Amino acid sequence: MRFDLVLFGGTGDLAWRKLLPALFQSFRHGSLPADGRIIGVGRGAMSDDEYRALIAQRLAEVEADKRPSDAEFARFAQHLHYLRMDLSQPADYAALRELLQAREADTVVMYLATAPSLFTTVCQQLGAAGLATERTRVVLEKPLGHDLPSNRAINAAVREVFSETQIFRIDHYLGKPSVQNLLALRFGNAIFEPLWRRENIASIEITMAEQLGVEKRGEFYESTGALRDMVQNHALQLLCAIGMEPPISADADAIRNEKLKVLQSLKRWTPETVTRDVVRGQYAAGQIAGKPVPGYRQEEGVSPTSQTETFVALRTEISNWRWAGVPFFIRTGKRLAGREASIVVHFRQVPHAIYRTPLGAANRLTIHLQPKDGLTLQLMAAAQSQADTGGVQTLSPAALDLDFDQRFGTERVGAYERLLLDVIAGRLNLFVRADEQEAAWQWVEPILEAWQQANARGEAPRPYVAGHWGPGAASALVARDGHSWMEEF
């Protein structure tokens, strides 16, 4: 396939940290179509060779097993080109058109790795320059808007130029191998489906924890916060994968229709339930891996009186027949005790216990997203040696552990690599539809409004010490339902 991938923001942070390493890995794996161009777009003057040298320098900083050898990069560099553009100038889009028309590619991908404020401008200019043809696809990075009105405005502007089937709204969590295996687990195996309902599941917990702080992104994070950065997109997409009904097929719209139903079935927020069922926190100075780290308000680009949340924990429910009454707990935060992304399905206790078991022990299925990639199923098994218990046998937890890296090899396709290849091939299954995004924004908006009112009253996020698992109120939140976070077992 002959393709052109135009990377707006081609010298930016996302391009060199995620996108170009992913494109190189697909080249290394032989899955990147050979007859393709990657055109980096930036504001600075640069030749193709200078751009290639810059990317070579960046790729030398990635993990050792993903770095190219000199010979590998020399071959990969033949795909790399550079174009200087001012994204507000029509003449520069005319230059892009000439570059693309120099050869007729089968597919042209416009990847907008830019600030969301530029999405509308770029798409309008692409349309005016005649670059939005039926062969064109546009990729939009998150965050797509700051709230529901801005999200709708961006989507409306983009749809004036591109059809919905040409728009790829990317959420890199959907490209993770473990998320793909979650869908395979649910819809490719018969053993779990009969159990996947309120009669057998006590609660479901979604955790996305980071040890890092905001690093050099304080100014960006001040206007975003954890709810917009992680919950509105990543966490809700994971919740959909867990909670959705089986689609009629693996087609993109069949899957996305079922995800939309989940979002529409989430319990609506009221001021009272936000107060009761949502915890917002902000990290204070502490220690990570034995080293002191500053509090959020001491980070570069952050206001010393900031009320931006760096931690969110919440309880919600899906109001349908399958899930009615089952609590879904979501938490995400920065400067926490560990780096962990996982989904934990807590099954109910057996209805009649004939064995002794440790307090709180029950079957659990853990889907590991990062840093480990795999599944752990906790069963109860008879202990081989035990003290006299009056003739009643004691059971102990035993884990069945599936490590995907060991089972399938460490060279599996990464999230961005998978998603980029899907864009080139035109597969929409792992991308978010406009109505999904709007439903997600509709659901989080009452929380944002309640926090805005709390800020006006001078109510700050709950502080937590860096290196811990968030405010104590997050533990109290799950304890009200008789549950605990995974690390508290």
Q: How far apart are CA 438 and CA 316, in angstroms?
A: 18
160 is in an annotated binding site: no
- Judged by average pLDDT, the poorest of 289-303, 311-325, 404-418 is 404-418
Strand order in the sheet with 340-347: 395-403, 374-382, 364-370, 340-347, 201-209, 328-333, 311-316, 278-284, 462-465
pLDDT in tens, 330-359: 999 999 999 999 999 999 998 888 888 887
pLDDT in tens, 219-236: 989 999 999 999 999 999
261 is in an annotated binding site: no
Q: How far apart are CA 139 and CA 7, in angstroms?
A: 10
Instruction: Please say if the pLDDT value at position 250 is more than 80.
Output: yes
By C-alpha distance, which of 350, 328, 318 is closest to 200?
350
Cβ–Cβ < 8 Å for 255, 187: no
Q: How confident is the model at residue 113 (pLDDT cuts 50, 70, 90)?
A: very high
- Model pTM score: 0.93
205 is in an annotated binding site: no
Cβ–Cβ < 8 Å for 369, 381: no
5 is in an annotated binding site: no
172 is in an annotated binding site: yes
pLDDT in tens, 9-51: 999 989 988 999 999 999 999 999 989 999 999 999 999 999 9
Q: What residue ranges do the domains of the chain occupy?
A: 3-141, 174-414+434-488
43 is in an annotated binding site: yes
Q: What is the β-pairing status of strands 278-284 and 462-465?
A: parallel
**Unique residue bearing structure tokens 């009056």:** 390
Q: Is 29 a catalytic residue?
A: no
Q: How far apart are CA 317 and CA 116, in angstroms?
A: 31
Quick one: average pLDDT of 136-155? 92
pLDDT of residue 460: 93
User: Exposed/middle/buried for 291, CB within 10 Å: 0-12, 13-18, 19+?
Assistant: exposed
List residues bridging with 380 in a β-sheet.
397
Class of domain 174-414+434-488: alpha beta
User: What would the 3-class secondary structure string for the chain be?
Assistant: CCEEEEEECCCCHHHHHHHHHHHHHHHHCCCCCCCEEEEEEECCCCCHHHHHHHHHHHHCCCCHHHCCCHHHHHHHHHHEEEEECCCCCHHHHHHHHHHHHCCCCCEEEEEECCCHHHHHHHHHHHHHCCCCCCCEEEEECCCCCCCHHHHHHHHHHHHCCCCHHHEEECCHHHHCHHHHHHHHHHHCCCCCHHHCCCCCEEEEEEEEECCCCCCCCHHHHHCCHHHHHHHHHHHHHHHHHHHCCCCCCCCHHHHHHHHHHHHHHECCCCHHHHHHHEEEEEEECEEECCEEECCHHHCCCCCCCCCCCCEEEEEECECCCCCCCCCEEEEEECCECCCEEEEEEEECCCCCCCCECCCCCCCEEEEEEECCCEEEEEEEEECCCCCCCCCCCEEEEEEEEEEHHHHHCCCCCCHHHHHHHHHHHCCCCCCECHHHHHHHHHHHHHHHHHHHHHHHCCCCCEEEECCECCCHHHHHHHHCCCCCCHHHC
Residue of 234, 346, 368, 483 marked catalytic: 234
Q: How far apart are CA 382 and CA 76, in angstroms?
A: 55
pLDDT of residue 348: 94
pLDDT in tens, 391-426: 668 888 889 998 887 887 655 678 899 999 999 999
pLDDT in tens, 235-246: 999 999 999 999
CB neighbours of 249 closer than 8 A, spacing ≥ 6? none
Mean pLDDT score across all residues of the chain:
93
What CATH number belongs to 3-141?
3.40.50.720
87 is in an annotated binding site: yes
pLDDT of residue 43: 94
